[in-house]
Amino acid sequence: MVKSVGDARDMAGPAALDGVTVVDLSTVGPGARATRILADFGARVLKVGAPKQSAALQVEPNFHAYSAGRGFEQLRLDLKSAGGRRALLALVAKADVLLESYRPGVARRLGIGHEELCARHPRLVYCSTSGYGQDGPASGWAGHDINYLAFAGYLHTSGRDADGKPPLPGATIADSAAGGMHAALSVLAALLQRARSGRGAYLDVSVTEGVLQLMSLYVDEHLATGAAPGPGHDVLTGRYACYDTYRCADGRFVAVGAIEARFFHNLCRAIGCEQWSERQYDDDAQPAMRADFAAAFARQPRDAWVEKLAPQDTCVSPVNEVSELPKAPQLVARRVFGEAHHPRHGHFAQLAPLLAGQPRAEGPVQAGDAEHTQTDAVLEAAGLDVAEIATLREQGASA
């Protein structure tokens, strides 16, 4: 039997956001990450996309993306039409949160900006996510994850390849952490404040400013001391051999993060490099120390080193490939994987809700399907009559 994400085995009682309704106008990126988090905390998320004929510029995510739309209710409305906007206003009248990810100024031109909607619904939490914020000289720039990481200094402080180029990150850090978690945290704080004051809020979520928050150790260091953090600036950016990655005999890698002296001493002893135990942060010793560490790790396969070193307080872990994760004993023991069922793609595995306090389903969850919307049912529940809903479909304003 397919069960909903709310059928939790890990938590008693209702989910934290049970009873909260979110209208989501985003399709991909930070906004979609944020509402994924809110839905997994129990919010009802009404995912509003454009009808197919009106969505030429919108990216349609793969069926498995964003947790396969589990727990979302899918609608398609043409917000450029008067009928589509009226339908959206009916949804907002009964919602707690609206989230949009348009370019700055677009929502206002459509007649669904925060000034208008918050005036009509003072309890509404209206969240705008954008790359650079709603104002300022860069606010109109187009961009994606790499651009925000670059702008806020993240790429510059990261390790360089052989040509000296900043690296391409292996995950969408700006979208997920600096944007999605940033937006979700801000929405939760606004809902908490509303419970005390009775009033909603407008949230201007800048992904770039979220990256700055992630970069605060280095930005604040520069502001306070004038230092210029970059690759090799300190222990966290590759200055020392105790915090690096090393290739093993089978071509795979381990990550070493032995920052504290105790862990470093354990590491040196375990890999046969005790000559370096007392010179951990000696800058002159780093090239030779790194060469000795590299030679030591090259003598055995990765998993042999992990089996030996990880239990010995050495801060060593495997650099896992994504394909290795489903069999990783730690992740299996923590039950981080779940199952989903899609009407067209069948059963498949996916990550379960992972943030602390998010309930997990006992069985497979129902995935969303962009081809099958709940538009009519949701609009009827919002107060539109059957004739008006039929007219919207006839006009191509809904689907």
Handedness of CA 385, 91, 109, 106 (dihedral sign): negative
In the residue annotation, 144 being an active-site residue is answered as yes
- Cβ-contact 81, 395 below 8 angstroms: yes
- Of all helices (H) and strands (E), which one includes residue 118? helix 114-120
Buried b (16+ CB within 10 A) or exposed e, 309-324: beeeebbbebebeeee
Q: Which distant-in-sequence residues (6+ apart) come within 8 Å of 220 by Cβ?
A: none
- Cβ-contact 360, 338 below 8 angstroms: yes
In the residue annotation, 114 being an active-site residue is answered as no
- Of all helices (H) and strands (E), which one includes residue 72? strand 72-76
Taking the C-alpha atoms of residue 271 and residue 315, their distance in angstroms, rounded to an integer, is: 13
Residue found under tokens 């197919």: 52
94: which 2 tokens?
A: 């009964």
197: which 2 tokens?
A: 């004051």
Taking the C-alpha atoms of residue 202 and residue 304, their distance in angstroms, rounded to an integer, is: 53
Taking the C-alpha atoms of residue 367 and residue 69, their distance in angstroms, rounded to an integer, is: 6
Question: Which residues share a beta bridge with 47?
Answer: 24, 74
DSSP reduced 3-state for 64: coil
Buried b (16+ CB within 10 A) or exposed e, 267-281: bbebbebeebeebbe
> Phi then psi for 294, rounded to 5 degrees?
-60, -40
> Phi then psi for 270, rounded to 5 degrees?
-75, -30
Taking the C-alpha atoms of residue 267 and residue 273, their distance in angstroms, rounded to an integer, is: 8
Q: What is the dihedral of CA 262, 265, 270, 276, to 10 degrees?
A: 160
Which one of the listed residues 24, 40, 145, 175 is annotated catalytic? 175
Active-site annotation, residues: 144, 175
